[in-house]
Amino acid sequence: MASVSTTSYLTVPPVGFTLDWFVEVLTDRDYIEAIQTSFLLAFAATAGSLVLGTAASYALHHRLVPGADALASFFMAPLIFPAVVIGVALLQYYSLVGLRWSFWGLLLAHIAITVPYVIRACLTSLAGVKSELEEAARVLGASGFNAFRLVTLPLLKPGLVAGAFFAFITSLDNVPVTIFLLGPRQSTLPVKIFTSIEHGGVDPGLAAISTLLILVTGLALVIAERWVGFSRFV
C-alpha cells in the first residue's frame, strides 16, 4: 500500500495514488544492476543445484555410496547451521583460496545452501518410484544412463520442480550469506534493499521494489503449486 503513496515518506494508508515509485526504481541503474545480478545468480545456482542434487539423491536412494544415511544428513547441514555462520566461514575460507569477492565464489556458496532443497525433494519423489521400472528398461537393452533418462527422470519431475522452486527462491532472497561475499561494486536486490534501509531509512521506493519482489515470489509459488503441488514435500 505504501508503495503507491504520492508522499516521499511511508504512509499507511497511502495518500493519493501513483505508480511513479515503481517507475523510479525500475529506471534506477543501481537497482537494475542489482536485479540482474540477483536473477543471474538465482538461475545459475538453481541449475547447479538441480544437477548436483539429482545425482546425489539418486546415489543416496540407491545406496551407491557407503554411508548413504550419514551423507544424507551431511548434505542437510546448510539447513541446520545459521546462515550468518555459513557466510562468515565462507568469507574466511575464500580469503585463503583467492575466491573472495568473486562471482564464482558467491555462486558456489548459493549452490551449497540451495542443493539440500533439491536433494530433499528428489529423495521424496524417488521414494515413490519402483526400482523395477528401471531394471525392466535395462533388461530390454537400455544402458544405465538411458534407463535413468527415459524412465526415472520423467518420474522425478515433481521433485525437480519443487526443488528448483525452493532453490531459486532461497537464492533470490538470501541476505546473510550473500552480504559477506559480495564485492565492493556488487549487489543483489535483497542486499540493496537491506543496505538502503540501514543507511537511508524506508521510503516508498523501497516499498515499491519490495512489492515487486513479493509479487515475483508469489507468482512463482502459484505456478509451481498448480503444476506439482507442495503438500508431499513440506
Mean pLDDT of the region 119-125: 91
The three three-digit cell numbers of residue 4, written as one number: 503507491
Confidence band, pLDDT 50/70/90 cuts, at residue 85: very high
Ranking 56-65, 89-98, 172-181 by mean pLDDT, the lowest is 56-65
- Give the model's pLDDT for residue 163: 92
CATH class for the region spanning 2-227: mainly alpha
Cα separations in angstroms, 193 against 135, 164, 203: 51, 24, 11
User: DSSP per residue over 186-234, as a string?
Assistant: ---HHHHHHHHHHHH---HHHHHHHHHHHHHHHHHHHHHHHHT-STTT-
Cβ-Cβ contacts under 8 Å for 205 (sequence gap 6 or more) = 21, 24, 25
| Spatial CB neighbours of 161, under 8 Å, sequence gap ≥ 6 | 224, 227, 228
**Mean pLDDT score, 156-183:** 91
Band (pLDDT 50/70/90 cuts) for residue 20 is confident
Least confident of 102-106, 120-124, 174-178, 201-205: 201-205
State the cell numbers at 182: 559480495
Q: What is the pLDDT of residues 123-159, one digit of tens each?
A: 988 888 877 787 788 888 877 788 888 888 888 888 8
Residues 6-15 have pLDDT tens digits of 666 666 666 6
Structure confidence at residue 105 as a pLDDT band (50, 70, 90): very high
Residue 201: per-residue pLDDT: 66
CB 153 within 8 A of CB 135: no
Q: For residue 40, how far is the Cα from the chain centroid?
A: 11
Q: Is the pLDDT of residue 3 over 90?
A: no
137 vs 111, which has greater pLDDT? 111
The SS3 of residue 86 is helix
pLDDT confidence of residue 23: 83
Q: At what angle do helices 103-126 and 83-97 cross, to 10 degrees?
A: 130
Q: 37 and 187 in contact (C-beta within 8 Å)?
A: yes
Helix extents (H) in 62-102: 68-75, 77-80, 83-97
Q: Which DSSP category does 207 fall into?
A: H
